[in-house]
Amino acid sequence: MPHATTKDGVNLYYEEAGSGSPLIFVHEFAGDWRSWEAQMRYFSRYYRCITYSARGFKPSAVPADPAMYSQAHARDDIIAVLDHLKIDRAHVCGLSMGGFATLHVGITYPERVRSLVIAGCGYGAAPSEKEKFQKECEFAAQQFEAKGAETAKQYALGPTRVQYQNKDPRGWAEFAQQLSEHDWQGQANTMRGVQMKRPSLWELAEDMKRISAPALIVTGDEDDPCLEPALLMKRAIPSSGLVVLPQAGHTINLEDPEPFNRAVLDFYMRVETGRWASRDSRSTASGILGFRK
Between CA 185 and CA 191 the distance in angstroms is: 10
Q: How confident is the model at residue 293 (pLDDT cuts 50, 70, 90)?
A: low
Q: Render pLDDT for 69-108 as a digit per residue (tens, 0 to 9).
A: 999 999 999 999 999 999 999 999 999 999 999 999 999 9
- Whether 221 has a pLDDT exceeding 80, the answer reads yes
Q: How confident is the model at residue 128 (pLDDT cuts 50, 70, 90)?
A: confident
Q: 178 near 36, Cβ under 8 Å?
A: no
**pLDDT score, position 285:** 78
Q: 231 near 242, Cβ under 8 Å?
A: yes
Average pLDDT score over residue span 12-37 = 98
Select the more confidently predicted residue: 124 or 225.
225
Between CA 205 and CA 167 the distance in angstroms is: 35
Q: In the predicted model, what is the mean pLDDT of the chain?
A: 95
Q: 185 near 64, Cβ under 8 Å?
A: yes
Task: Provide the whole-model pTM.
Answer: 0.96
Q: How confident is the model at residue 125 (pLDDT cuts 50, 70, 90)?
A: confident
Q: What backbone torsions phi and psi does residue 178 show, to the nearest 5 degrees?
A: -65, -40
Strand partners, 113: 90
Local structure of residue 44 (DSSP, 8 states): T
Q: How confident is the model at residue 131 (pLDDT cuts 50, 70, 90)?
A: confident
What letter represents residue 72's amino acid? A
**pLDDT score, position 290:** 64
What lies within 8 Å, CB to CB, of 51 at 6+ separation is: 14, 15, 24, 25, 27, 33, 34, 35, 36, 40
Examine residue 66 and say whether the peptide bond preceding it is cis (omega within 30 degrees of 0).
Answer: no
- Whether 25 has a pLDDT exceeding 70, the answer reads yes
Nearest CA to 38 out of 53, 49, 22 is that of 49
CATH of the domain spanning 3-279, picked from 3.40.630.30, 3.40.50.1820, 3.90.1150.10, 3.90.1710.10? 3.40.50.1820
What lies within 8 Å, CB to CB, of 141 at 6+ separation is: 187, 188, 189, 191, 192, 196
**pLDDT score, position 124:** 79
Average pLDDT score over residue span 157-185 = 97
Average pLDDT score over residue span 259-286 = 94
Residue 118 Cα to chain centre, angstroms = 6
- Whether 291 has a pLDDT exceeding 70, the answer reads no
Percent of the chain with pLDDT over 70: 98
Q: 246 near 29, Cβ under 8 Å?
A: no
- Whether 288 has a pLDDT exceeding 70, the answer reads no
Q: What is the largest CA-CA distance in the chain?
A: 65
β-pair type (48-52, 90-95): unpaired
